[in-house]
Chain A
Amino acid sequence: MKKLVVFFLSLFILINCGKSSEKNSSETSVDQETQNWARPGSQGQMSGAYFVYENTLDVSDTLISVDSPQAMMTQIHESYTTEDGLAGMREKKEIIVHSDESLILKQGGLHVMLMNLKEDLSENDSVEVTLEFTEAGTVKFKLPVKSNK
């Protein structure tokens, strides 16, 4: 009888132990990640902006430049992990978007890098971004400034 008690006790503890170390990831939903938005920022500082652009043409397209009147300099950047495991970002000069595919800029991946903001960006403001594609030509986005994303 004793044996049985110890056995079931062990079993019970094992199950509970497993439970507490089980990790449920609470990743943000795709919908949240793919919203069009820009981060608040102070004048002279940086901000990042995000959007989704769908290539509805029946040919591949290439994003060749990005600009915003609200920053001294604007680029497309990519966050990546370096060979020795550090977090970094680098400029992406050209990005190919295949037909019927979407170009997705989201946190931790691609972002519009707004450098040296000409004025403060606060909630309820918006950021104008002009994209230049080889096929689609000029595409404009107006991205709402949102904090606490």
Chain B
Amino acid sequence: MKLFFPASFLILCTVLISCTNSPKIIDDLSDKSFEVLNQNGESVTFPDDYEGKYVVAGFIYTNCPDICPLVTQNLIKVQKEFNNPDDIQFLGITFDPKRDTPEVLKNYKGLFNLDDNFDFLTADSTTISELMDSVRVRSDVSFTQVRDDDKEVYFMNHSDKIMVLDKKGRVIFEYGGSMTPVNYIVEDIQSVRR
């Protein structure tokens, strides 16, 4: 019985520690700078230009009409849940820069009815592959298809991912992009947002 007090105190401490919200840093991008373009063709330095905001980013290519829109829709749902906040930036980043030019991304953005805190980013192929490597997003051409008009079109296998950066450009959460229930993401952000 004498052990009861120290034991419960110990339990209390453990519980308190596991309850505090200091998420693990998954990837630190704060020392990286990628020169990219948004859907308006404006240059953006990622992640530097978003420092001071949380960033919720999904990885997509626009020639993907099934899985990738689910990723985009998840980002939109998170934005809605937070009521379009100013301190959270939403990004769709393409891993298919060859086809996803700013103009194509602008059209793509237009399909979803989005505001200013939602950008789509592309860059030259080298920058995109460096960016994707730094967040461990993989993509490969899976197959090409010769269309009825004799033009070739290719499709890609790719990581299905949404990630959250803190205000210092560090990746603190990541998820399966298309299948994760939105409230997981919302709760995680709520737990660290201040």
B-binding residues in A (CB < 8 A) = 2-3, 6-7, 9-10, 13-14, 16-17, 20, 23-27, 39-42, 45-48, 72-73, 77, 79, 82, 85-90, 107-108, 111, 113-116, 147-149
Contact = CB atoms under 8 A, between A and B. Distances in A.
A147 B113 contact: yes
B5 A79 contact: no
B159 A26 contact: no
B143 A39 contact: no
Nearest to B18: A17
Given A17-B19, A114-B65, A108 B179 contact: yes
Contacts of A20: 19, 187, 191
B157 A87 contact: yes
B41 interface: no
A10 B181 contact: no
Interface residues of B, number: 51
Contacts of A6: 5, 8-9, 12
B155 interface: yes
Interface of B: 4-5, 8-9, 11-12, 15-16, 18-19, 62-67, 69-70, 73, 76, 104, 107-108, 111-113, 138-140, 142-143, 145, 147-149, 151, 153, 155-160, 178-179, 181-184, 187, 191
User: For the complex, would chain B's binding face be called helix, strand, loop or mixed by DSSP majority?
Assistant: mixed
B178 to A, nearest CB: 6
10 contacts: A7-B8, A17-B18, A25-B183, A45-B62, A47-B65, A86-B138, A88-B142, A90-B142, A107-B69, A107-B70
A89 B19 contact: no
Given A116-B151, A147-B113, A46 B64 contact: yes
B8 A108 contact: no
A107 to B, nearest CB: 6
A14 B16 CA distance: 9
B66 A79 contact: yes
Given A23-B183, A87-B178, A89-B64, 11 more contacts: A10-B12, A26-B181, A39-B65, A39-B69, A42-B111, A46-B63, A46-B64, A73-B145, A87-B67, A90-B143, A115-B153
A2 B19 contact: no
Contacts of A25: 181, 183
A65 to B, nearest CB: 13
Given A39-B69, A89-B67, A14 B15 contact: yes
A26 B183 contact: yes
Contact of A86 (B12, B69, B147, B157): B157
A149 B73 contact: yes
Given A23-B187, A41-B111, A89 B66 contact: yes
B105 to A, nearest CB: 11
